[in-house]
A and B are shown apart, each in its own frame.
Chain A
Amino acid sequence: MKSVLRLLLQRLGLGALSLLLVSVVVFTITAVLPGDAAAELLGQDATPETLAALRAQLGLDQPMALRYLHWLGGLLTGDPGRSLVSDAPVMELIGNRLPNSLLLAAVTAAIGVPLALLLGTLAAVFRGSWFDRLLNSGAVALVSVPEFLIATIAVLVLSVKLGWLPALSYASDIDSFSGAVRVFVMPVLTLCCVIVAQMMRMTRAALADQLDAPYIEMARLKGVPPVRLVLGHALPNAIGPIANAIALSTSYLLGGVIVIETIFYYPGVAKLMVDGVSQRDIPLVQTCTMIFCAGYLLLVMVADMIGILANPRLRHAR
């Protein structure tokens, strides 16, 4: 247990390092991209004079490194500064939407992950059967439909044609449980279509690999029933890759749901960041990236830890 703790601390340290690295890279990219916040703000109406004035106002005339350090210093003290293009503090912009994003991700994960695990496990148990084939091709077929198409079809059918659900999922409508259900059905449905396949297929593949192992044979000879065989015996050995697939899929739910946010008008952070990129709003992009990155690192760290905990050989190794 102590070695696990040490590993954990080590990973946290490395995670902080990764964050720093990401922040440098993202800052540099955003800064060297042609066009800056001032130019984006003024657009067609820019004149050299107003551009210069705005740049000075936004602090864009300062050297890059200085601006980065300033931002970093602010971040460390918990204040990532003000957004360049809107005069609101970055924290306020993000704070308004992050809970929504987390909520959507959580709801989707709470439905998608167990579903994927269940389907993947079933497919592995009945591998080679028609059921397995059906499940596999179904998953691939579903994931190969672009998500904007799924989302649009869902709206067309469920909102426009049938009128069952609101076409827009503005999150402040979530005041009652039934209201929340109505708001979340379509975004969650669409996202599940996107993420379930990867987790399911990886679960199946990793489990199927394990189900051929001799220790499974021995477990069968102990009279272990199929469900327990898969969950109790094969799963712990396959959990590493599965956890990673889950981590990858769930991390997508934080920053990758831009299509959902636009089509369903869901007020999350993904759109905030994409806007930030378009507007070259460095502090905003930086802070969003940091949040996504931290979320991602956290998820993969958990996945790695699960992998290590599940494989005792890795715990003390090297």
Chain B
Amino acid sequence: MNAPAASNAASATTRRKRALGLGVPGTLGLLVVVAWLLVALVAPWWVSASAQDIGVLPVFAPAQAGHWLGADYLGRDMLARVLLGARYTVAVALVAALAASAIGTCLAMLAAVSGGWLDAVLSRGMDTLISIPSKLFALIMVAAFGASVPLLVLTAAVIYVPGAYRIARALAVNVAALDYVVVARTRGESRWYLMRHEVLPNIIAPVTVDLGLRFVYVVLLLASLSFLGLGVQPPAADWGTLVRENLGALWEGGLAVVAPALAIASLTMAVNLVVDALPGRDARKAVH
């Protein structure tokens, strides 16, 4: 076999791998995420408004025909609650986590690539932001703008930007000092190019891992934010809130608390499986 033919074959296999994408665990994760997204999308049309009427079942009723997840602390159908809750958890948390990671990572790369005063200003700004107690921040957001879902997304995102920034910056400064970035600089490339094409591909693996975790945090944060009156208004409830408000079911068999907790776990694990399996992961290697 001569060399060119050989490398052709090699690239063909990498292409095939890329098309397949994620491997078994990743695909599984993707399926779960897509399934929940679908639920989030169709649930409001599918589940009737009266499905969550209170007092329909005994409080914390066990699973039964027609009410497969039993009842919650007000005797509402738990299945309907979980399905309707998907919308807030999946959409809000996903968007907020993505936004937090995207903004944090972009700013981090900007800081790493620019260095100097911009780095200092951004870093100190982020330190300030992260030091504001999140409760205080949430309260001022409600007070200033009232409660709405977009605001909820914004708040959750802003709360997690500094964390994402810190991690990404720590990764990016190491890469930004490498020779191949210097080469791009000698070409006079814009900062955007340096960030997007030279730095990002070489930090993306840890950054996405961070994204996966940040998603988990946002899901959990939503519960406490909605307790503070931000965003989702009852009867609508995100999964974290479902867990919180049904905590009393824990000793009675606990379906009402276990079901939303499992829903959260299934989604977050699925997201992390996808994140771990993102293509190109093993082909990218940082070289010093």
Interface residues of chain A, those whose CB is within 8 Å of chain B, are: 14-15, 17-18, 21-22, 25-26, 29-30, 32-34, 133, 136-137, 140-141, 143-149, 152-153, 156, 197-198, 201-202, 204-206, 208-210, 212-215, 237, 240-241, 243-245, 247-248, 255, 273-274, 277, 285, 288-289, 292-293, 296-297, 300, 303-304, 307, 311, 313-314, 317-318
Contact = CB atoms under 8 A, between A and B. Distances in A.
B170 A143 contact: no
A207 to B, nearest CB: 10
Interface stretch (B5-13, B39-47, B126-134): B126-134
Given A144-B269, A209-B286, A292-B131, A300 B216 contact: no
Contact of B250 (A147, A153, A201, A240): A153
27 contacts: A21-B128, A25-B132, A29-B140, A30-B136, A33-B140, A140-B216, A140-B272, A141-B268, A144-B216, A146-B220, A147-B220, A148-B247, A153-B250, A156-B250, A198-B213, A205-B206, A206-B206, A213-B285, A240-B171, A240-B173, A244-B170, A248-B163, A248-B166, A293-B127, A297-B127, A307-B173, A317-B177
B132 A26 contact: yes
Nearest to B114: A318
Contacts of A311: 173-174, 177
Nearest to A270: B133
A307 B170 contact: yes
Given A18-B127, A30-B136, A293-B131, A140 B268 contact: yes
A144 B268 contact: yes
Interface in B240-271: 240, 243-244, 247, 250-251, 257, 261, 264-265, 268-269
Nearest to A155: B250
Interface residues of B, number: 56
Q: Is the interface of A mostly helix, strand, loop or mixed?
A: helix
Given A197-B213, A314-B173, A210 B131 contact: no
B187 interface: no
Contacts of B177: 311, 313-314, 317
B162 to A, nearest CB: 9
A137 B124 CA distance: 34
Interface in B149-202: 163, 166-167, 169-171, 173-174, 177
B288 A237 contact: yes
Contacts of A25: 128, 132
Given A237-B288, A311-B177, A314-B173, A26 B136 contact: yes
A22 B132 contact: yes
Given A140-B272, A303-B166, 20 more contacts: A18-B124, A22-B131, A26-B131, A26-B133, A33-B139, A146-B240, A149-B257, A197-B216, A201-B213, A202-B210, A205-B210, A206-B206, A237-B288, A240-B174, A247-B166, A285-B133, A289-B131, A311-B173, A311-B177, A313-B177
Contacts of A277: 133, 135-136, 139
Nearest to B169: A244
B115 interface: yes
